[in-house]
């Protein structure tokens, strides 16, 4: 097993999951934080910027998954590291955007 390919699949999952909120917000015509906002990740970017950022994330995910190693959907190790990358960025984004959009975050007693 080529560990470099597994690292690429992990980051492929990360970029694939990160594409979802940006693309969806942009397609819905809503402003959403992006790395290009001021301040980065907290300010709002236009829907067009978010669609472009989302599709760039898809392209990067594609390159990492399809052009590094030999990714197979039926290979448990490939899907596990891809899914782990997607899960970890999803949890981080939920925490980050939950603060900005009033998500339910447990408060210490």
Q: Residues 10-56: pLDDT tens digits? A: 999 999 999 999 999 999 999 988 888 888 877 899 999 999 999 99
Buried b (16+ CB within 10 A) or exposed e, 67-96: ebbebeeeeeebeebbeebbeebbeebeee
Write down the pLDDT at residue 84: 95
Query: How does pLDDT run across 57-105, given as a tens digit for each residue?
Result: 999 999 999 988 788 888 888 899 999 999 999 999 898 888 776 665 5
State the pLDDT at residue 75: 84
């Amino acid at each position: 097993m080529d560990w470099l390919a597994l690292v690429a699949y992990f980051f492929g999952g990360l970029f694939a999951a990160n594409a979802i909120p940006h693309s969806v917000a942009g397609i819905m015509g809503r402003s959403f934080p992006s790395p290009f906002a001021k301040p980065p990740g907290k300010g709002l970017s236009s829907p067009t910027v978010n669609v472009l950022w989302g599709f760039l994330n898809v392209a990067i995910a594609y390159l990492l998954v399809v052009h590094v190693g030999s990714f197979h959907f039926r290979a448990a190790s490939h899907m596990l590291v891809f899914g782990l990358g997607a899960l970890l960025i999803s949890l981080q984004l939920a925490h980050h955007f939950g603060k900005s959009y009033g998500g339910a975050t447990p408060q210490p007693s």
